[in-house]
Structure 1
Amino acid sequence: NTSSYFIIDKDEDLSIMCNFEDHININSFAPGQNLIEAYNKANDIDDILIDNIKIAYKDNLGFLTSSPIKLGTGLKASLVLHLPALKHENLITRLASMISKLGLSLTPLYDNAKGDIYVLSNQVTLGITEKSAMDNVNAVCDQIIIQERKARETLKQNPDFEDRIYRTLGILKLARRVSVDEFLDSISLIRLGISLNYFQYPYSLVGDMLYNLFDASLVDSSKSDLTKDMCDSLRAQIIREKLG
């Protein structure tokens, strides 16, 4: 039997998956809208592997992957976007349909679009260069950001929505239990409130909580087995401490 391996670097921004869907899959991450930084890190590893391993490749098809839709460059360039205003205005479905006609996809990061976080990715890898794929994703991302900002300005004029954001903050400051789903939806509103200058928490606070307050992260950091209820209680406690 062939064993599978997952290799990750010490900074946790580069990983290699071996013998999963494909023999080798390189994943690279970078903050912000910085696809080229992530690409360069992955490409350095790719060059080393090509120099030392016989890779299945044909001039007319590119890399021969397990799935035909990955033929060609085999590159999937993705950007993670927080789109609460477009979601609230019910514009995501129409936007995703328009984007699909450009050879890209816009899909929720979490089930049922919890947290209003979406992933924008290229769907075409054959007959296109890596640079073109990244340029396309960046160009569409720029347009999505413009639309999201317009939608946020509209929401800012809505006193009911402003009240909803402040109520959410009040609940998080006092809640004794917070589920993962409630956490994702609530922290989305808090981040939106920061962007609208309702309060002055740093964006890094939201990122830190998103990274550390899922059940698996809580279990790992506590070094003990936690039930779901225990995770909900611990999550609420940490949120109260973070938000003051």
Structure 2
Amino acid sequence: MNKKEINQQYLKSTVKILRNFKDLNFNTNDIEKNSQYCVNRVEKLLKTHEYKKWILKNIELTELKRLYYRGIIDEALFNNPKLAVLYVLDDINILVNSSEHIVFISTKYGKTLKSAYKSAKYWENEFAGEYEFASYKSNKFINSNYSNSGLGIIAFLFLHLPILSIKNHLEDRDEVSKNGFKIQQLKINKEISISSIYNVENITSDFKTFENLSKEIYKVSDFIIMAETILRNKIQVQEDILINDKISKAIGIIKAAKYLD
């Protein structure tokens, strides 16, 4: 498989930058007041921009599920969206009052982590010019989850893996969970998968730079795609099955479109 073919297996790239305001602490008896502070700060900086404001506790369950499947909200927030607010702009989503005070989320099509990071970083810089984020040293940020402290960045890569999905071989590969990453199939619930779409993400932010993080997650993802190719070739030889990648990919994307877009 050449570089172009590998890149075609990448459907979307998402970067989440997680930050907390230094002067606010959610571990108090006045959580709602602090939450309102976060909302006020976001809306102050967005006052000259067009955006949609979603109060998550008020949106329909199907829309909440869609945000969960896309990686914009995590399972904890999906189960308890009480204080969370999502601001939707053209190139960015800004999530307020999740496990962190504020999360900058950018998604791009294809193998495009650098571009997604650039968009999210732009907005982080806008806020950093006005407010100070909690950190323990230069460019090392404090998050509610210790694993995310450091860069405070989570990268997601959405991959199309029809053969590994059909043959259920993916979970048997220990290599995919090495070096601080995990891979999981997108699912409607614990029993029903959406399609042949998987996402790879880092489970630690203990990297020197974003460039280092992206290099490592691409390395893991390319390994998985090569495993897909090897298994496909094996099936073609042993079972004489001809697989049309374009048709398979189209079916997978159509099935998952309402969750990924």
Question: 1:84: Cα distance to partner?
Answer: 2.2
Matched, 1:98 2:175: yes
CA root-mean-square deviation:
2.7
Could you tell me whether the CA contact under 8 Å between 2:160 and 2:197 is conserved in 1? yes
Matching residue of 1:9? 89
Distance of 1:131 and 1:140 partners within structure 2: 14
Question: 1:133: Cα distance to partner?
Answer: 0.7
Question: Structure 1 regions of 5+ residues with no counterpart?
Answer: 163-192, 218-244
Code of the residue aligned with 2:257 in structure 1: it is Y
Matching residue of 1:150? 230
Matching residue of 2:165? 87
Code of the residue aligned with 1:75 in structure 2: it is I
User: Which structure has more strand as a fraction of its residues?
Assistant: 2
Structure 1 residues 152 and 205 mapped into 2: Cα distance closer, same or farther (>3 Å)?
A: closer
Matching residue of 1:39? 117
Question: Structure 2 regions of 5+ residues with no counterpart?
Answer: 1-31, 36-82
Code of the residue aligned with 1:119 in structure 2: it is N
Paired residue secondary structure (1:49): helix
**TM-score of the aligned structures, taking structure 2 as reference length:** 0.59
Q: C-alpha deviations, 1:182-208, integer Å up to 9, x for none?
A: xxxxxxxxxxx541x6xxx59567535
Code of the residue aligned with 1:156 in structure 2: it is Q
Question: 1:124: Cα distance to partner?
Answer: 2.2
Question: 1:130: Cα distance to partner?
Answer: 1.3
Distance of 1:80 and 1:102 partners within structure 2: 18
User: Which structure has more helix as a fraction of its residues?
Assistant: 1
Could you tell me whether the CA contact under 8 Å between 2:207 and 2:213 is conserved in 1? no
Matching residue of 1:210? 256
Distance of 1:153 and 1:68 partners within structure 2: 41
Matching residue of 2:198? 118
- Which structure has the higher relative contact order (CA within 8 Å, separation 6+)? 2
Question: 1:24: Cα distance to partner?
Answer: 0.3
Matching residue of 1:64? 142
Could you tell me whether the CA contact under 8 Å between 1:69 and 1:124 is conserved in 2? yes
Tell me the matched-pair count.
Answer: 177
Larger radius of gyration: 1
Question: 1:18: Cα distance to partner?
Answer: 0.4
Paired residue secondary structure (1:101): helix
Distance of 1:202 and 1:84 partners within structure 2: 7
Q: C-alpha deviations, 1:124-154, integer Å up to 9, x for none?
A: 2125321111110011111211111121222
Could you tell me whether the CA contact under 8 Å between 1:61 and 1:71 is conserved in 2? no
**TM-score of the aligned structures, taking structure 1 as reference length:** 0.63
